Amino acid sequence: MGLDSRERLLLVMKILEEHCSGPENITMEQIIDQLANESGCSSDRKAIYKDIDAICAATNLRVERKTGMKDYRVSKANVFSKEEVEIITNAMLTAKFISKAETSAIIKKLHQSAGLSRAKTGAGSIILQDPVKPPDAKVLQNIKIIKEAIQQNKKLQFDYVKYNSSKKRYIEKERCLVSPYVNVWYQDFYYMLGSFDNERISHYRADRMTNIQLTYEARKSITDLTGSHRQFDVYEYLGKMVGMSSENHFSA
């Protein structure tokens, strides 16, 4: 019994992806042989041509064959233009909320997905050792855990850090136990809004949260603080409170 059309198309796409942007091209005979090896069935050459056309139309895979040549070059169409990659790269390099290591990893993935090198985009004239960047923050991981806590209706525990005039980090508050409500981007930073003492809403910069852990303790409902009759306005709160500091508030 032969492959049905859907199974064959998925296998052809898998084979093409394995050869995508590789050093060697692939011939139709190799595709047919690999299909036979993986499925135990023979496939019609004309059907494979149709599969390749369908794959190219529905995905960013590109299969090209030069006139008179038997082999195919498989590549991925660029999702971003060179100029777009340059803009995103420079934005990442100047972003204050994300660490140097996270910046480098994201920029590398961006250039790889676009099939471009840093030299070709002309991006990166800004030095990564710019002191505005936090040296060891794990912002992406923190954001992921914050979202998990909100989705699972659980409290978070973390240490909250600040930096002194010498750019040395110190822990301002250890083992903060907070009911998280929202994670939001505001004025170049990610902030988590939550209830620290079950009496008031506080805000915390995601890049200053460390040793963050999801607890088993259920979080306090935000309506218990604001009242069910009033909808909490996140941006109104941030506009008033970011930049302010007091004994009872862990501000930016």
Q: Is 215 helix (H, G, I), strand (E, B) or coil?
A: strand
The HSE-up count of residue 136 (CA atoms within 13 Å, CB side) is 9
Highest-scoring range by mean pLDDT, 83-97, 102-116, 157-171: 157-171
**224 residue type, one letter:** D
d(CA 102, CA 13): 32
The residue-averaged pLDDT of 98-125 equals 74
- Whether the full predicted model's pTM is greater than 0.85, yes or no, is no
Encode pLDDT of 117-152 as tens digits: 766 665 555 444 554 666 666 888 899 999 999 999
d(CA 226, CA 233): 10
pLDDT at position 68: 64
pLDDT at position 248: 37
| Strand ranges of the sheet holding 71-76, from the earlier edge strand across to the other edge | 26-27, 71-76, 61-64
Q: Where are the alpha helices (DSSP H) in the chain?
A: 5-18, 28-39, 45-58, 82-94, 100-114, 118-121, 139-152, 223-226, 234-241
* Residue 209, both tokens: 């949260």
* Residue 170, both tokens: 């110190």
Q: Is 143 within 8 Å of 190 (Cβ atoms)?
A: yes
